[in-house]
Amino acid sequence: MYQKIIDRLEKDRYAEKEELIALLNCDSEEVRSYLFEKARKVRERVYGKDVYIRGLIEFTNICKNDCYYCGIRKSNAHVNRYRLSKEDILSCCENGYALGFRTFVLQGGEDGYFTDAVLEDIIREIKRNYPDCAITLSVGERSRESYQRLYDAGADRYLLRHETANCGHYHMLHPDSMSYENRMQCLKDLKEIGYQVGAGFMVGSPYQKTEYLVEDLLFLKELNPHMVGIGPFIPHQQTRFASEKQGSLNLTLMLLGILRLMLPNVLLPATTALGTIAPNGRELGILAGANVVMPNLSPVSVRKEYQLYDNKICAGDEAAECIQCLTRRVGSVGYQIVTDRGDYKAE
């Protein structure tokens, strides 16, 4: 029965709610390997054996939001707050470019210092220095006008995980000052403006049910984003979810495989969170259908201050060490890291 569902996913890029629930609830090594084999086949048809790298620059940990799961949320008083200067950011790019990165991801909290004018200036300068590189922004919810200005300044892509497609669940993870509708509106705006858009969610976040994961899958199918970022929820000790369970490795891998079949061309990272819950998590992610890794380019001096969750890996490593380590890891499972912008391949 499970094989039939997987065959259908491969053929129709779709399955019914009940089928997806059954598949997600099935904890069988045999079913997983059947799924992953198909996912790899589809991934290799579109992207070959290439794995794209994105240089992650965590440029501010100052945030006005208070997402209950997040280690750098506003009300965590134990975080040493920092923001990188334009010069710091450019030097991360310089370092990254020399290491073969052709995409820079600027990620941060929702920090009011980074107005449109400030970000536009940074984006323009990066583009001037590295015209062959893509810029991805991941700075949360902004107005449509703001997204438009940043796009016009040269930003190519935007990552904004929807976090959960179930409205009730969204409100169990966020304070009342945040709204599900606004987050969804942001994703719609970003797409309409012309960004390559990434959505996504945490696997095993508190109160999550299998039904909600199915809603996530069907929502993503409908949104049809260029990228999907998923990783296990990992508790952070200074949040109200400190003693919640972390998300499961196998379930995350299964979701990666299913997403690859539902959205064959999607750019799918094997995330740092996946590498945090299992030593070979990212390799397993690649083998389940992922085709992107996002090593950290942030200065080592600030890395430990960008702890979204406990025990985040690579907090003390230089970017050069990270890329070496990943090159080896990706190679060990038969794939290769490439120096390429790694744009979405449309059909």
Where on the chain is the footprint of ligand SAH (CB under 6 A)? 69-70, 107, 109-110, 138-140, 160-161, 163, 202, 231, 233-234, 236, 273, 308-309
Q: How far apart are CA 80 and CA 302, in angstroms?
A: 9
Taking the complex as a whole, how short is the minimal distance between the CB of residue 45 and ligand SAH, in angstroms? 29
- Parallel, antiparallel, or unpaired: how do β-strands 134-138 and 103-108 relate? parallel
- Among residues 6 and 294, whose Cβ is nearest to ligand SAH? 294
- Among residues 19 and 111, whose Cβ is nearest to ligand SAH? 111
Closest to 216 in 3D by CA, of 271, 276, 248, 256: 256
End-to-end CA distance of the chain: 30
- Among residues 31 and 178, whose Cβ is nearest to ligand SAH? 178
Taking the complex as a whole, how short is the minimal distance between the CB of residue 229 and ligand SAH, in angstroms? 7
**Residue 235 is which amino acid?**
P
- Among residues 64 and 345, whose Cβ is nearest to ligand SAH? 64
Taking the complex as a whole, how short is the minimal distance between the CB of residue 118 and ligand SAH, in angstroms? 16
The CA–CA distances, whole Å, from 295 to 57, 99, 282 equal 9, 11, 11
Closest to 220 in 3D by CA, of 165, 174, 169: 165
Taking the complex as a whole, how short is the minimal distance between the CB of residue 260 and ligand SAH, in angstroms? 19
- Among residues 31 and 302, whose Cβ is nearest to ligand SAH? 302
- What's phi and psi for 269, nearest 5 deg? -80, 145
Q: Give the DSSP letter string of 131-144.
A: TTSEEEEE-----H
The helix (run of H) or strand (run of E) holding residue 126 is helix 116-129
- Among residues 133 and 308, whose Cβ is nearest to ligand SAH? 308
Helix then strand then coil, in percent of the chain rounded to 5, is: 45, 15, 40
- Among residues 111 and 283, whose Cβ is nearest to ligand SAH? 111
Q: How far apart are CA 15 and CA 13, in angstroms?
A: 7
Taking the complex as a whole, how short is the minimal distance between the CB of residue 250 and ligand SAH, in angstroms? 17
| Cα three-residue angle 37-10-247, rounded to 5 degrees | 65
In terms of Cβ atoms closer than 10 Å to its own Cβ (0-12, 13-18, 19+), residue 66 is middle
Taking the complex as a whole, how short is the minimal distance between the CB of residue 131 and ligand SAH, in angstroms? 26
Q: How far apart are CA 181 and CA 220, in angstroms?
A: 16
Taking the complex as a whole, how short is the minimal distance between the CB of residue 80 and ligand SAH, in angstroms? 17
- Among residues 209 and 240, whose Cβ is nearest to ligand SAH? 240
Q: How far apart are CA 89 and CA 86, in angstroms?
A: 5
Taking the complex as a whole, how short is the minimal distance between the CB of residue 212 and ligand SAH, in angstroms? 14
